[in-house]
Structure 1
Amino acid sequence: MGFSKGVFLILYLFLFFFNHSFSSLGLSSKELSEIPINFLKFAKKSEVFDWMVGIRRKLHENPELGYEEFETSKLIREELDKMGISYKYPVAVTGVIGSIGSGKPPFVAIRADMDALPIQEKVEWDHKSKNPGKMHACGHDAHVAMLLGAAKILQENHKLIKGTVLLVFQPAEEGGGGAKKMIDAGALENVEAIFGLHVASHVPLAEVESRSGPLLAGSGFFESVISGKGGHAAIPQHSIDPILAASNVIVSLQHLVSREADPLDSQVVTVAKFQGGGAFNVIPDYVTIGGTFRAFSKESLIQLKQRIEEVIMGQAAVQRCNATVNFFSNEKPLFPPSVNDKDLHKLFQKVAGNMFGSDGVKDMQPLMGSEDFAFYQEVIPGYFFFLGMKDETMKQNPLPHSPYFRLSEDGLPYGAAMHASLVVRYLLEYQMEIPVVTVDSHDEL
């Protein structure tokens, strides 16, 4: 009797995998391939497009720094309320997690970061930043608008959601480790996979770029105060010059990459901050330097961190100075490298190919930039890609973190539709990979 039940189960599974397709879920292969196209058509409707543009411009006018995104978060919650989408708030100070679908497994997530940068905008247009010294110079305003756009698409097509989609609106990506705090607050509980995107102002519209495996470097930040003894510049023998010590430190830090790192292991150490003094004829008591270090492995990051501290302390001592080194372990945690899951890459290629065609899906080389999306990828399979939003009206397209940063709002529908398509297709294919087989306790054969 047990043998008969086993034979029945094997035959059932065989028939499921070879004679059943997505038609068992009400969709043919052709209909599956049309999901991204249909979602894009919906996102391009004038009322949907104008709504996303309006959200993006409101956010651009009112940028907020990490963990200060209270008005941004309020706008997001108001829009989710209008769509009838439930959410959790606050998560990690200002974060919001929306939920669409059955509320039951499988769970998949899509993420947008919300924070701006401490940059004074120099682009003159009707929606210029109204907050002095703050600017959405990295496109996070567009990220929020596109995730809300995806929410609208998903809510309109909720019958296609075979599980639950979580909408992760995250604070403090710009060095604040907001993703880590979201994880610590339970944002990824029961989540099987997560997707994220970033605008690319140098990539043409209707194109996306990504790769399987290592995509972005891990990174850390450091700051050092080098203290000496101030005095008159005309009699340096009576002073201990911290500027000279800091200069030797900076030169020596460059040797960490050029002489200690494996040439095949890409690494960067950059000193981007040097502050001290204020007069042409006065040697200051101290100077402050700071910067970033980056690599594609945690081991290399840890090694760089150790050597940066040793070099700073040692070179300062050579020049008779004292030094302190701060790696911002709480405020700015060590970011791990971003590594794209290979199976999710295959899904991305299918979905993006359906939407953009093969010519619009580009493979890219790894970048030394970093993203705290990597914290999610350390915990669960994750996938991150770049969306073309080049403003063709500009002769030059400044890269992110520039006071002249611009993007084309015509790219908003593509990002919204990609977000929605990826999670819907993921959930549909998840159902195929894990069929639910029920066998009665008694044998019917």
Structure 2
Amino acid sequence: MASCKWVPSFFTVLLILPLLSSSTSSLSPEELAQIPVKFFDFAKRQELFDYMVGVRRTIHENPELGFEEFETSKLIRDELDRIGVRYKYPFAGTGVVGFVGTGGPPFVAIRADMDALAMQESVEWEHKSKVAGKMHACGHDAHVAMLLGATKILQEHRHELQGTVVLVFQPAEEGGGGAKKMIDEGALENVAAIFGLHVSSSDPIGSVSTRSGPFLAASGFFEAVISGKGGHAAIPQHTIDPILAASNVIVSLQHLVSREADPLDSQVVTVGKFQGGGAFNVIPDSVTIGGTFRAFSKESFMHLKQRIEEVITRQASVQRCNATVLFNEREKPFYPVVVNDKDLHQHFLNVAGDLLGPRNILEKPPLMGAEDFAFYQEVIPGYFFMVGMKNESQGKLESGHSPNFRINEDVLPYGAALHASLATRYLLENQPESTLSKGDSHDEL
């Protein structure tokens, strides 16, 4: 009886051992270095390259906005079924989480976002968006294709995996905070670390760019309604002009960065929305303005939020107007700072260096762009990097969030191989400690 109770207790101990142990892989450094090379060769095979291109173009033709990625999600699930990979669905409405490997620890995740932007595509080509006013203008179609490509690589080499790779297909990165909802619904259960990537039109093909520590800024949105009293433009003394008040508000908001922020503490306040009035000779009753604010620390970010509300309401009152400020965190949650884990940074340098060569790993300065990958990094160690796709022979590529944005599809094998290599090497190099001595075996228990 006593021995029967002891055996399950022993296995319970094995399951809860720390995943980030100091144990090393049984493979030699030379054998570990060959994994990215082998995976890249696999990713460049014509069959797999054509597969990723086909997936990417199908998704590009049929873009879906955040939390509306129903067909994209179905495509992913159909592909996982064909590849023979187990998955769970749904997460956050349309999200999918797949599993490749042993099904046991350690667990490491690789992530792709799925949503498009509300934008009309201007690029004329065979696979242009078929949906008016929607476009994959930030490369998420390529991200999904690369993660499915990585899935094929991992599934082909599943018997070499010493643990489980978790495949995170996430909705609503573009302002919707889909990552946070994925976490809330258990997508990171048992996961010890996570990797994410983004295509970069400013870095050359065959390179990656990244940095340790703060990488992308915290981000939030605001909207304000400034109300006055409308009337005829010829008799402004009988009105309370909200357009004048809004104009003064916008100028004053710029002073938050130029005169209140430390010049060495990067911050941004941008008003991108101004709606009010419909006639040349009528002063409207109200004006709506909106914008974004960003910073590289939580303290600076929350201070900006406070001052934005104060400036809008008080500056409006100077012009005899009332103002209501909304941050709408429920629909557009504030994104934290993307902070790359220092230990995962070294892991990335090792793996990417073996794949691309150290000279093709570029140090990226901090960027004021934002990414909801930061939500994952608040929960577990995470690492985010850029994959270059600029090819001088193809001319200049527009940056993301542009109607002229286009993907250099030659980038697909790089992303797929990096995803698969980072996850596989992580599993090999972070095995749970065994409490058994070399002479022990499960048969003896």
For normalisation by structure 2, the TM-score amounts to 0.92
Q: 418, 421, 436: which one pairs with 1:438?
A: 436
Give, in whole Å, the separation in 1 of the partners of 2:386 and 2:24: 31
Moved over 4 A (4+): none
Aligned 1:202-281 pairs, distance under 5 A: 202-281=202-281
Structure 1 residue 435, shift from structure 2 partner: 2.9
The question of whether the paired residues in 2 share the 8 Å contact of 1:390 and 1:407 is answered with no
**Residues 27-62 of structure 1, C-alpha deviations (whole Å, 9 max, x = no match):** 322121011111011111101000000000000000
Give, in whole Å, the separation in 2 of the partners of 1:260 and 1:142: 40
Q: Which amino acid aligns with 1:437?
A: T
Give, in whole Å, the separation in 1 of the partners of 2:171 and 2:396: 30
Give, in whole Å, the separation in 1 of the partners of 2:110 and 2:86: 15
Structure 1 residue 416, shift from structure 2 partner: 0.3
Structure 2 match to 1:165: 165
| Ranges in structure 2 where 5+ consecutive residues have no aligned partner | 1-20, 441-445
Matched, 1:129 2:129: yes
Q: CA RMSD in A?
A: 1.6
Aligned 1:272-311 pairs, distance under 5 A: 272-311=272-311
**Residues 382-421 of structure 1, C-alpha deviations (whole Å, 9 max, x = no match):** 0000001124454332110000001200010000000000
Q: Does the C-alpha gap of structure 1 residues 124 and 391 become closer, same or farther in structure 2, counting only changes over 3 Å?
A: farther
Structure 1 residue 328, shift from structure 2 partner: 1.3
Structure 2 match to 1:404: 404
Matched, 1:332 2:332: yes
Give, in whole Å, the separation in 1 of the partners of 2:99 and 2:156: 14
Give, in whole Å, the separation in 2 of the partners of 1:424 and 1:399: 31
Structure 1 residue 365, shift from structure 2 partner: 0.7
Structure 1 residue 238, shift from structure 2 partner: 1.3
The question of whether the paired residues in 1 share the 8 Å contact of 2:195 and 2:384 is answered with yes
Structure 1 residue 147, shift from structure 2 partner: 0.4
Q: Does the C-alpha gap of structure 1 residues 322 and 250 become closer, same or farther in structure 2, counting only changes over 3 Å?
A: same
| SS of residue matched to 2:204 | coil
| SS of residue matched to 2:371 | coil
The question of whether the paired residues in 1 share the 8 Å contact of 2:110 and 2:165 is answered with yes
Structure 1 match to 2:10: none
Give, in whole Å, the separation in 1 of the partners of 2:194 and 2:350: 17
Structure 1 match to 2:428: 428
| SS of residue matched to 1:293 | strand
**Residues 289-336 of structure 1, C-alpha deviations (whole Å, 9 max, x = no match):** 101000011111111101100111101111111111110110111111
Q: Which amino acid aligns with 1:170?
A: Q
| Ranges in structure 1 where 5+ consecutive residues have no aligned partner | 1-16
Aligned 1:46-57 pairs, distance under 5 A: 46-57=46-57
Structure 1 residue 195, shift from structure 2 partner: 0.1
Structure 2 match to 1:197: 197
Give, in whole Å, the separation in 2 of the partners of 1:30 and 1:305: 51
Give, in whole Å, the separation in 1 of the partners of 2:156 and 2:95: 24
| SS of residue matched to 1:202 | strand
Q: Which amino acid aligns with 2:320?
A: R
The question of whether the paired residues in 1 share the 8 Å contact of 2:24 and 2:430 is answered with no
Structure 1 residue 363, shift from structure 2 partner: 0.9
Q: How many residues align?
A: 419
